[in-house]
Structure 1
Amino acid sequence: MTMMSAPLMAQCSLCTKTAQQLGEGPAKGLNNGILMLALTPLAIIGFLAFRWWRSNREA
């Protein structure tokens, strides 16, 4: 859980350079957008892993 206390930076080197040119506000929006796009597949994988774990635990 130590990762949650630090601010998350989800930008590749190209996105970082673009964000630096945009300024503070749009850069935060870009970073939040990248994190939101990453959250969907991780949530799906987590849900499937939970279902698999629950079905194997009962068997």
Structure 2
Amino acid sequence: MRIKKWNWIVILGFLIFSFSAEAQCAMCRAALESEESGVQAGAVNDGIVYLMAIPYILVAAIGFAIYRLKYGKKKEVNK
């Protein structure tokens, strides 16, 4: 498969103009920088993991429910 000249230009542009981003609000940054013990930083990190995990768990549960609905009825029909 041959890649067109335009696609090479786009790929090269993405590689050249990639930017580093720090996604943290000003209030979180100020709170974490003022804390010297690091306890609050650990709590913020735990909160981020918690907020990140919930959507994955919900998608997995919905996917499992759809799987059971789709393949569970086929087993009953074959019996």
Is TM (by shorter chain) over 0.5?
yes
Aligned-pair Cα RMSD in Å: 2.5
Q: Which has the higher contact order (CA 8 A, sep 6+)?
A: 1
Match of 2:22 in 1: 13
Unaligned runs of 5+ in 2: 1-20, 75-79
Is 2:61 aligned against 1:47?
yes
- Superposed CA deviations along residues 1-57 of structure 1, whole A, max 9, x for unmatched, are xxxxxxxxxxx8243x82751341111100000111112211111100000111112
Match of 1:30 in 2: 44
TM-score by length of 1: 0.59
Q: Give the 4+ runs in structure 1 shifted more than 2 A.
A: 12-15
